[in-house]
Structure 1
Amino acid sequence: MKRDDKAVQVATIGFTGKSAQEFFDLLKNAHVRTVLDIRLSNTSQLAGFAKKQDLPFFLDKICGAGYVEMPELAPEPDLFKRYKANEMKWDEFAAAYVDVIAKRRVESNLDIDLFRSACLLCSEHLPHHCHRQIALEYLNSQWNSRLKITHLT
């Protein structure tokens, strides 16, 4: 069987700093088929319209998209807590997070086809200091740069 080496279009989005309309319009306009939820905590009341309990319904009804919870790309709770408490700098967090997902062997345990027309969801408004960007950069380094990444902001 011939391996498909075509580029895989994948996006990222954070829900904070966006209204529900902005959030769902971005996903719909990007033709996202599946939202991959890589948040450590996706049940908080602070998540509003993006709570795990409600998001699959909204995605289906508004965007015709599916929802997959992907905890294997979430950071370890202690690591995230230390970063949020300013006990470590961004570069230290990023390196430690890469170690975590490398030990989980995410590149071997996740199918690249799951990322096709998908969008990684996290909380941070912008990707620059968010683990969603690090996760995709790591996977891209392991998957021969096949991921073509767009950040929906």
Structure 2
Amino acid sequence: MANSVNLYTIGFTKKTAKNFFELLKQSGVTRVIDTRLNNVSQLAGFAKKADLEYFLKTIGNIDYIHRIDLAPSKDILDEYKKQKGDWETYETKFLDLLEKRQIEKKVDPELIENACLLCSEAKPHHCHRRLVAEYLNRHWGNIQIHHL
């Protein structure tokens, strides 16, 4: 696949619903790919699965899918979040997990064209959505990554 693919990433924390949905609409995103392990938490506010799916479709005619294979495992996440692990260890373990799962073979490039990887982190620096996007780009070499 020689043509370049646009892939966006976004986190919902520290954003108002208005800001979140406007960013998605203005960027031309056609699908949100939820990469969270837990997408029904009360802490998610407007980004809980059923609500988010409804808002995306109603506000921006944006499709929603949840891809658990793009989320960290519970043990990797707990070690980083609950046990205050360091980012480098988390990143290494998560990238190893993506490699084991062979997501580059399981994700159709058409699925991510004009799609947006979603997780909770406000910024992409210490976030697994950035790692997923960069991992796919390393394997495919044709992804333009845009952080919203």
Pick aligned residue for 2:144 from 129, 132, 148? 148
* Deviations, residues 59-81 of structure 1 (Å, cap 9, x unaligned): 01101100011111000001100
Q: CA deviation at 1:85?
A: 2.7
Aligned: 1:109 with 2:106: yes
Q: TM-score scaled to structure 1, two decimals?
A: 0.94
What amino acid sits opposite 1:78 in the alignment?
D
What is the alpha-carbon distance in structure 2 between the residues aligned to residue 79 and residue 147 of structure 1? 26
Please give the secondary structure, in 1, of the residue aligned with 2:85.
coil
Cα root mean square deviation, aligned? 0.9
* Deviations, residues 127-149 of structure 1 (Å, cap 9, x unaligned): 00000001111111111x21100
Q: TM-score scaled to structure 2, two decimals?
A: 0.97
Pick aligned residue for 1:100 from 97, 108, 113? 97
Q: Which residue does the alignment assign to 2:64? A: 67
What amino acid sits opposite 2:106 in the alignment?
N
Q: CA deviation at 1:5?
A: 1.3
Number of aligned residue pairs: 148
Q: CA deviation at 1:87?
A: 4.6
Q: CA deviation at 1:56?
A: 1.1
* Deviations, residues 25-75 of structure 1 (Å, cap 9, x unaligned): 000000100000001111001101110011111001101100011111000
Q: Which residue does the alignment assign to 1:10? A: 7
Which runs of at least 4 in structure 1 moved beyond 3 Å after TM superposition?
Answer: none
Residue ranges of structure 2 left out of the alignment (5+ in a row): none
Pick aligned residue for 2:129 from 129, 132, 135? 132
Q: Which residue does the alignment assign to 1:27? A: 24
What is the alpha-carbon distance in structure 1 between the residues aligned to residue 84 and residue 35 of structure 2? 23
What amino acid sits opposite 1:12 in the alignment?
T
Q: Which residue does the alignment assign to 1:80? A: 77
Tell me which protein shows more helix as a share of its residues. 2
Please give the secondary structure, in 1, of the residue aligned with 2:95.
helix
Please give the secondary structure, in 1, of the residue aligned with 2:53.
helix
Percent identical among aligned pairs is: 46
Q: CA deviation at 1:88?
A: 2.6
What is the alpha-carbon distance in structure 1 between the residues aligned to residue 29 and residue 109 of structure 2? 15
What amino acid sits opposite 1:147 in the alignment?
I
